[in-house]
Amino acid sequence: MATFPLKAYTADVIMYDIIINALTRLVEFDEEELFYFLKLLKPRMLNKNDFILEAGEICKTMVIVNRGGLRYFSLNDKGEQSNWFAFEGEWLGDYESFLTRQPSSHFIQAIEATEIFSLSYDDMQQLYAKGVKYERFGRLIAENLFIKAERSRNELTSLPAEQRYLNLIKDHPDILKRIPVQHIATYLGIQPQSLSRIRRNIASRKS
């Protein structure tokens, strides 16, 4: 990762290395561009289980996680359907609601004590208007999100639930330490009871 001598600006920028990494990984912002970006990010502390979005609201900001984790889910007749998670250095929001200014049908909740930085719609548009690098950043973020979503969609249609679970813990070995099994289950498209049985089967085959 590129090192940024941003301490010249502010002494505690070292606290934000996760954010700075996330921003500069995709586009080589110079110090001034990066600083301008950082200034638009509003910090916010969340307790575990706090919501930053509830169904019916319009999603007004996209947020990036500095510490902790968020869960993106919807509510249907079977209960909560987890759709996505975000941890350190990852962006989250209801992109559709955010872009179309229509009410969301999703919730975003902290699954741990979490520190986020939020970027409002207007500030984002201002960034896009300010320079091509910000526009490019937005493009690369959206491209990466699309690739991840599509890969995930393909797994759902082509792999059995057990294989989806094994792939998930292979790609994210520590995920069970941060996300309750019930939320992993609905993310995988099955009920918690079913995942429990799948986990039992895997464990019994290992011994």
Partner DNA sequence: CGTCTATTTGAATGTACTCAAAAGCGGTGG
Partner DNA sequence: CCACCGCTTTTGAGTACATTCAAATAGACG
Q: Which residues contact 151 (CB under 8 A, 6 or more apart)?
A: none
- The nearer residue to DNA, 80 or 123, going by C-beta atoms, is 80
Q: Residue 21 touches which of DNA, a second copy, none (CB < 5 to 8 A by kind)?
A: none
DSSP 116: E
Q: Which helix (H) or strand (E) holds 44?
A: strand 42-46
In Å, what is the CA distance from 31 to each residue of 40, 108, 141?
15, 32, 20
- The nearer residue to a second copy, 151 or 206, going by C-beta atoms, is 151
Point out which residues bind a second copy (CB under 8 A). 74, 76, 78, 81, 83-84, 95-96, 99, 128, 131-132, 135-136, 138-139, 142-143, 145-147, 149-154, 156-158, 186-189
Q: Which helix (H) or strand (E) holds 58?
A: none
105 binds DNA (CB under 7 A): no
Distance CA 137, CA 127 (A): 10
Q: Which residues pair with 109 in a beta bridge?
A: 51, 71
- The nearer residue to a second copy, 25 or 153, going by C-beta atoms, is 153
131 binds DNA (CB under 7 A): no
Nearest 5°: phi and psi at 95? -60, -40
166 binds DNA (CB under 7 A): no
Q: Residue 193 touches which of DNA, a second copy, none (CB < 5 to 8 A by kind)?
A: DNA
Distance CA 132, CA 150 (A): 27
- The nearer residue to a second copy, 43 or 103, going by C-beta atoms, is 103
Q: Least distance from C-beta 198 to DNA, angstroms?
A: 6
Q: Least distance from C-beta 166 to a second copy, angstroms?
A: 16
Q: Please check whether residue 109 is in contact with residue 74, taking contact to mean a CB–CB distance below 8 angstroms.
A: no
- Contact set with DNA (CB under 7 A): 78, 160-162, 180-182, 189-200
